[in-house]
Amino acid sequence: MSNPVRNKTVDSFMSMASSWKEEFEKLREIVLDSELTEDFKWMHPCYTLNDKNVVIIHGFKEYCALLFHKGALLKDPHGILIQQTANVQAARQLRFTSLQEIVDMELTIRAYLYEAIEIEKSGKEVPLKKVTEFAVAEEFQVKLDENAALKAAFEALTPGRQRGYLLHFSQPKQSKTRTARVEKYTEHILNGKGIDD
């Protein structure tokens, strides 16, 4: 692609990156060579097609990554896509620990990127688990059974907000911790707020 449009906010992000700077630049060069539009979302370079997120470049302590928003739909013939946690349903990452690794994998990265673009063009969506398929912590279920207003408020939340609470409440191994989390967020739920609101 000739002369891709660079986003000024991404330029600033790149110039101020304290780690993974060379790796970010190489990933950016690869992605800009596609038909995606460069944007800046969630504090990271994000690349879109018709305003739909396709990939994002981000860095962590141990690695930097190219995250495919619908990565679960990619064929992944090399078995290199990583699901961050068991609760991540759609996104998958390609992780890198050096610039050389990105250079060596450039053709593979481009193949995955073009497949991701074709998936976005096709309109395919990752089938997400329904809220009813998530485990409900026993401590939260007891609260819902006791408190009709809480049950109604929880059911009125968006599926994403419901999922957030269900995952947060069921994570701890100890009942005491699960109970404390339910207590902490009861008022939030009654006020129609999500866990991060």
d(CA 171, CA 147): 22
Residue with tokens 């994000």: 46
Domain ranges within the chain, ordered by starting residue:
8-122, 131-191
Q: Residue 55 pairs with which residues in a beta bridge?
A: 47, 68
H/E run at residue 57: strand 52-59
What does the pLDDT look like over 117-156, one tens digit per residue? 999 999 999 887 777 777 889 999 999 999 999 999 999 9
Between residues 36 and 131, the one the model is more confident about: 36
Average predicted confidence (pLDDT) for the chain: 92
Q: Does domain 8-122 correspond to CATH entry 3.30.413.10?
A: no
Residues in the chain: 197
Q: Residue 66 pairs with which residues in a beta bridge?
A: 57, 94
Q: In the structure encoding, which two tokens stand for residue 17, read together?
A: 């990156």
